[in-house]
Amino acid sequence: MSGAWRLLADDGAGASEGLALDEALMGRYARGEPDCPPTLRLYSYRSHCALVGRYQNLAAEVDLAACRRTGTEVSRRSTGGGAIIMGSGQLGIAYVDRAPAGQRPREIIEQLSAALAAGLAQLGIVATFHGKNDLEVGGRKIAGLGLYVDPADAMLFHASVLGDLDVEFMLQVLRIPAAKLADRAVAAVTERLTTVSAETGLRYDAAMLRPAIASGFAASFGVTLEPGAPDQTELGLADVLAASRYRSQSWLSERSVSEDASGSAVLKTPAGLARIYLSTHGDLVKSAMVTGDFNELPAAVVAMEAGLRWRRLDGEVIAAVVAGSGVADALGVPAERIVAAVRDAGREACQGATVGQAGSAGQRQLPEPS
């Protein structure tokens, strides 16, 4: 990863076009072209685009009717991760190279996240890698990360850095558990997300973030970044991919074996009622969130939320996560009651998925996105 890298910069990409070019940039690495340096693309999408992760259920993550109503474009990434809103306030990062031999995906993501952190450090922001694919500041997410490696070991790393974010708009078009909280939804989301604008007190958009992030990559990997442009082969392939994949109904409708679902349960604590929200994928917990009238969100709650991700809805597994997080002491509630509430939320989610599958058996396709 040393030497000179190609740096691409552009703004206002469409949802399908932006993702198609990222994949097209992998072509030279997939073809095994010799002496091919890495490519770093720092860009923005037009306001707004809703992008879901490779393995997500589009209809479960995005309100397609709201997207049509607001003119929000929709597509699916080739990389994993969660649903995001992209626009002029969020910087998209695409890094393309050959996958390092012998490194696991998490190791690659963590290494590249350090370059993003180095860029944010130049703005006075201390960010650290957390969980499977998040960069956080003080326990709040500021960037999401994803990775895809094709059969030829060509690698695409995706990241989105939140320069600024319209949380109310995000709640309109994305289906996230906090949306159930009505007037508490914005507050619940901002307890778990932050932006460069919020951390610095200055209004940042994607274009303003680009120099710092570029500098962070250059410093972290000891390289120079040479401004360039996609070649005609890459542009031609991007046009084909945008039409044949990223705008196609089959790609947008692709879904996992089991439906995604959500459930919740009430937990009584000495400080009042708290709610546990789970988003599930089969018998796995995709995400967990605890809400309540906290003056300050306990660190142990955040630890439990993170610990439950991608764990099975099994009593012993949940009990181990609860015990390890220290959340029982933080909330003043016996661990057994917390485990029971988590299992209740999981049971509701699973029951909802079963009903949803039965009700959608006769549906032929998802609603057409805008």
Tell me: the pLDDT tens digits for 32-55? 888 889 999 999 999 999 999 887
pLDDT above 90: percentage of residues in the chain: 62
> Based on the number of CB atoms within 10 Å of its own CB, is 361 exposed (0-12), middle (13-18) or buried (19 or more)?
exposed
* Contact residues for 53 (Cβ-Cβ < 8 A; gap 6+): 76, 77, 79, 80, 81, 82, 83, 146
Higher pLDDT, 97 or 35: 97
Give the per-residue pLDDT at 169. 95
pLDDT tens for 220-235 read 999 999 999 999 999 9
pLDDT, tens digit, 9 for 90 and up, residues 328-338: 999 999 999 99
Q: Above 50 in pLDDT, residue 258?
A: no
Sketch out the chain's domains with CATH numbers: 3-253 (3.30.930.10), 260-359 (3.30.390.50)
pLDDT of residue 361: 40
Confidence of residue 182 (pLDDT cuts 50, 70, 90): low
pLDDT above 70: residue 295:
no
Region 278-283 average pLDDT: 86
Backbone angles phi, psi at 58, to 5 degrees: -55, -50
Percent of the residues in the chain that have a pLDDT greater than 70, as a whole number: 88
pLDDT > 50? residue 362: no
The dihedral over CA atoms of 170, 175, 181, 187, expressed in degrees to the nearest 10, equals -30
Long-range contact pairs involving 132-138 (C-beta distance under 8 Å, separation at least 24): 132/106, 132/309, 132/310, 133/80, 133/81, 133/109, 135/159, 135/161, 137/194, 137/199, 138/194
Q: What is the pLDDT of residue 272?
A: 63
Give the residue carrying structure tokens 């969980």. Answer: 131
Q: Give all strands of the β-sheet with 128-130 in edge-to-edge order.
A: 128-130, 134-137, 140-149, 154-162, 90-98, 39-45, 3-13, 223-227
